[in-house]
Amino acid sequence: MDYYGIGFSNIRLPNSSESYIYKYDRRVNQFPEEVFLHEFLHTLERNSKEYGYEIPELHAYESYGYKNETVFGQKEWYKDYMNKEIVTSVGNVGLPQEIYKLKPAKNSNFENVTERTDVFKEPENILDEIKQIIDRIKTKIEERG
Ligand SMILES: [Zn+2]
């Protein structure tokens, strides 16, 4: 996702710690880290595009002949995506190997997102909430002169 030129991802997980997604289970889930890897790869996907590399969309596994497997999820796709080993008629594609050593392409990626959330009326996080309290105290002190 993109917010004021800053990319971020929001990972929502089930509340129940009994959920199969948290556990390695030989029969049900052999890739519990998938959701975290997926979101991390979006960052590298974005960085690659911002550096001008032509790479496959992270979500496009099916158009390259990969499947979402029951127990392994998209593990094969991610492995080939990360190693640039997706076979196509024009050669292997995937993330450029250099991307693991490059910082994000744009300076806006380094700006602190909490400084930019004041467009919202409601505090969105604990830092905003603290900042609002401090601002209220400052205003009160100024009013008393
Ligand atoms: Zn995604």
- Domain residue spans in the chain? 2-111, 112-145
Tokens (6 digits) for 127: 């830092």
Per-residue model confidence (pLDDT) at position 20: 76
Token look-up 């080939």 returns 80
pLDDT (tens digit per residue) in 101-138: 998 888 777 776 555 555 546 667 888 888 888 888 88
Whole-number Å distance, alpha carbon 129 to ligand 1 midpoint, is: 30
Token look-up 């991390």 returns 40
* Alpha carbon distance 145, 138 (integer Å): 11
Query: Do 3 and 113 contact (CB within 8 A), yes or no?
Result: yes
What secondary structure letter does DSSP report for 11?
-
Whole-number Å distance, alpha carbon 14 to ligand 1 midpoint, is: 17
Whole-number Å distance, alpha carbon 101 to ligand 1 midpoint, is: 22
pLDDT (tens digit per residue) in 23-61: 888 998 899 899 889 999 999 999 999 999 999 999 999
* Alpha carbon distance 12, 10 (integer Å): 6
* Alpha carbon distance 137, 118 (integer Å): 17
* Alpha carbon distance 129, 81 (integer Å): 40
Token look-up 């640039």 returns 84
Whole-number Å distance, alpha carbon 39 to ligand 1 midpoint, is: 6
